[in-house]
Structure 1
Amino acid sequence: MQQITPKQRGYLIVNSHPTGSAAGVEELWGSIAPAAPAGRAPVVLVLGSSAGYGLAILVAGLRRLGVRGVGVGFEAAANERRTATAGWYRTAATAGLVEQAGGDFTFVNADAYADATRAEVLGVLAEHYGPVDYLVYSLASPRRTDPATGEVHHSVIKPVGAAYTSPSLLFPDGLPEVGAVDLAPADEAERAATVKVMGGEDWRLWVQALADADLLAEGFTTAALSYVGSEITAPVYRQGTIGAAKEHLEDTAGRLQRDVLGDRGRAFTVVAGAAVTQASTAIPSIALYTSLLRSVLGADGWRTTADQAVDLWEQLSGAKAPVLDERGRIRLDGWELDADVQDGVRKLWADPAAALAADPDAPAWFYNQFRQLYGWDVPGVDYSVEAEAVVPWPARRR
């Protein structure tokens, strides 16, 4: 037991709070209305189940469909110097809620890019769950080791073709102010490395491994998370190195359908809406854009990751028809890219300092959401109380 206080450097908090992280999962769980599952509980594999959209999709699947299966995250345990990562504590809390609900889910802590992890997960599926109905791919990482060559590739967040200068949102001493970001363009090696990490190569390896192991259920569906976003942030996102990776991911859906699945299943990319996640806060100017978007939409217009996850499951499960664009991508971002909404954000972007001053609740909301990613500033948590930093990873199903 120890008193835990945040150790923060800009948009990075190097420790997390176990009680706050657990409370965040409980809030997510409670925000999704349960449904009475009909028929056999689907088997799902969620890659990236400890944070962001992956966690929201897992929890929504548990609450709405009673899913069974495996979630993979890559988190660090507590040691003498630091707490465990927030994803470690979130996974432990999720497993506790699954157990209370009488569910059946296994959590694997391992590098999802590694062949050894694929072998381990396929073994768990074959022994305990059987063929997979849904594979959700929601991985974000600064690096990936190519399992074929052993080469380590590092992703970068840079524009492509031209330098990028933009206003940005800073929080010195926790108070919002507008700064600036200047990024040099990526070279071809950096762009290619980012595609290697964040593109669709690993997604294809997972689907192919399931197919080779005869672990594709009839009507198998796989979905990989993507993002398009606003033209305001396009130079650093959709037109940048990350955008190149997302293009590769989206093209992979077609290749999976043609070369691997055929009539055995479906492969989609899912264009989600804006969200405050550990991945998104690392992207320059996204914090400011998200705050201004929240200012335009307000609390009632904002679609949380839980809202979007429920919508996604309804589309994947056939409860309602998929909302597809001309490229066959499932779209969950209509609320964000509505023309009137984007016009509103564009007007605020013209003078962001004045926009923040006029609506200080918006940047305060963003800062609170960012801190909650690490278990801080969660309502109802008494941070003056000592907490147990050493929490066991959920036991394997036997």
Structure 2
Amino acid sequence: MTERHLTPGGRGFLMVNAHPRGAAATVDRLWQQLPQQESTEGRRPVVVVVGFSAGYGLAATLAAARRGAVGVGVAYEAAETPRRTASAGWYRAARTAELTDGWTFLNTDAFADTAKADVIKELTQRLGKVDHLIYSVAAPRRTDPVTGQVHHSVIQPVGQESTAKTLEFTDGVPTIGSSTLQPATDAEREATVKVMGGEDWHRWIDALAEAGLLADGFTTTALTYVGSDLTADIYRNGTIGAAKEHLEATAHQLGTRLADRGGRAFTAVAGAAVTQASTAIPSMALYTSLLHHVLGDAGFHTTARQMHALWLQLDGEQPLVLDETGRIRLDGWELDTTVQSRVRALWDRITTDNVTDHADSDWFRRQVGRLYGWNVSDTDYDVPSQTTVPWPTRTA
């Protein structure tokens, strides 16, 4: 067992060390935001969450557990080394296991066939057929299990270069800069679709179906994002957007396939959030800071709030909010025309000189720290922390 006096370290929005107690506390906060559903007799719903240890996947897992579901979570997190702590997701997984019951958490590459085999084994031996599969994966690379080829995702525009405003920090001081990205090649676009599109999602459903593990009325949902016109050139109209379009096309394919047994497949469009994936996208830091400035804490929907809303719709307690293409929409609070008009006005006038007047830059910086377990109130960072935490395999 190792105790260390930790400091965050890192560069930009990436930190080299996670704080175990702080990371656990962020899970506690999500848990407390979610209402507890009264327990009922009979079979508990079975849920598989692919990508459970961060962002919307974590919130979806906790929300499902709060509603009485059992299941399997899959994530790919880094263990502790002599030089670095384990990843924040590792510590979040450990705390999630302590809060939930009836869940198994696997640390494995979701893209690999072995991950699917491990989940099938757990379901066959313990839980039975699956009622819901939530797919929430953001990754920089994927090894194709059929060809062995490694595909790398890129964040680039398509068709022409794009320049966007950015929010940056120098010694903690916010500044407004810019980022110019060159257009992706066809090969880069296709590789990003291979990583972030719907191919792996489809393979998960194929594997469960072949194992006879899809319950009647099975529903699968992949989480996605649309966002504002302000970020569209780099996001929705870029390589990531191409992958999201493939994900949405996959939902239609899966929906057709599942319909004969009463099954469904959706993409659910979530609203903006500060996640490790979103901080890698140029302009998202500034956009999210402006959005929070416009909405405040009350109007800015947390991941927990949005995933609770998703489960209410998937379980039929509230009607599905679908757009014209059949996507579940959870982002109305963000894309409200009045909200977007106010964000755009701030975007057009913001400079380094007035950034703290028009954007919640300090809020954003704190939120980034919390992704790694830092900046969490009631966490004592001055005392050494136990960094050796075992990976949870199964909850009670």
TM-score normalised according to structure 1 size:
0.97
Aligned length: 392
C-alpha separation in 2, matches of 1:93 and 1:117: 22
Residue of structure 1 equivalent to 2:221 = 223
AA aligned to 2:355 is: L
C-alpha separation in 2, matches of 1:314 and 1:20: 29
AA aligned to 2:71 is: G
1:262 to partner: Cα distance: 3.3
1:118 to partner: Cα distance: 0.6
1:263 to partner: Cα distance: 3.2
* Matching of residues 121-270 of structure 1 within 5 Å: 121-259=119-257, 262-270=260-268
Residue of structure 2 equivalent to 1:86 = 88
- For residues 207-246 of structure 1, the C-alpha deviation after alignment (integer angstroms, 9 at most, x for no partner) is 1111110000111000000100001100000000000000
AA aligned to 2:58 is: L
The answer as to whether partners of 1:292 and 1:355 remain within 8 angstroms in 2 is: no
C-alpha separation in 1, matches of 2:117 and 2:197: 21
C-alpha separation in 2, matches of 1:215 and 1:82: 39
Residue of structure 1 equivalent to 2:70 = 68
Residue of structure 1 equivalent to 2:355 = 356
1:261 to partner: Cα distance: 5.0
C-alpha separation in 2, matches of 1:345 and 1:191: 29
Residue of structure 2 equivalent to 1:311 = 309
1:324 to partner: Cα distance: 0.3
- For residues 336-392 of structure 1, the C-alpha deviation after alignment (integer angstroms, 9 at most, x for no partner) is 0000000001100102226523146x1111110011000011111010011011100
Residue of structure 1 equivalent to 2:50 = 47
- For residues 168-227 of structure 1, the C-alpha deviation after alignment (integer angstroms, 9 at most, x for no partner) is 000111121101101000010000000000000000000111111000011100000010
Work out which of the residue numbers 10, 17, 22 in structure 2 matches 1:15: 17
5+ long unaligned stretches in structure 1: none
The answer as to whether partners of 2:98 and 2:395 remain within 8 angstroms in 1 is: no
Residue of structure 1 equivalent to 2:79 = 77
Q: Give RMSD over aligned pairs.
A: 1.2
AA aligned to 1:61 is: A
AA aligned to 1:293 is: L
> Could you say what secondary structure the match of 1:112 adopts?
coil
> Could you say what secondary structure the match of 2:286 adopts?
helix
1:30 to partner: Cα distance: 1.0
C-alpha separation in 2, matches of 1:312 and 1:111: 26
> Could you say what secondary structure the match of 2:333 adopts?
helix
C-alpha separation in 2, matches of 1:156 and 1:291: 24
> Could you say what secondary structure the match of 1:149 adopts?
coil
AA aligned to 1:43 is: V
AA aligned to 1:149 is: T
1:152 to partner: Cα distance: 0.3
The answer as to whether partners of 1:166 and 1:180 remain within 8 angstroms in 2 is: yes
The more displaced of 130-139 and 4-13 is 4-13
C-alpha separation in 1, matches of 2:354 and 2:169: 16
1:150 to partner: Cα distance: 0.3
The answer as to whether partners of 1:208 and 1:260 remain within 8 angstroms in 2 is: no
1:149 to partner: Cα distance: 0.3
1:46 to partner: Cα distance: 0.2
1:260 to partner: Cα distance: 5.0
Work out which of the residue numbers 287, 290, 310 in structure 2 matches 1:289: 287
Residue of structure 2 equivalent to 1:334 = 332
C-alpha separation in 2, matches of 1:97 and 1:268: 28
C-alpha separation in 2, matches of 1:378 and 1:202: 35
C-alpha separation in 2, matches of 1:76 and 1:250: 30
C-alpha separation in 2, matches of 1:248 and 1:50: 24
5+ long unaligned stretches in structure 2: none
AA aligned to 1:95 is: A
The answer as to whether partners of 2:350 and 2:358 remain within 8 angstroms in 1 is: no
AA aligned to 1:45 is: V
C-alpha separation in 2, matches of 1:120 and 1:261: 27
C-alpha separation in 1, matches of 2:9 and 2:259: 46
Residue of structure 1 equivalent to 2:390 = 392
AA aligned to 2:371 is: L
The answer as to whether partners of 2:10 and 2:16 remain within 8 angstroms in 1 is: yes
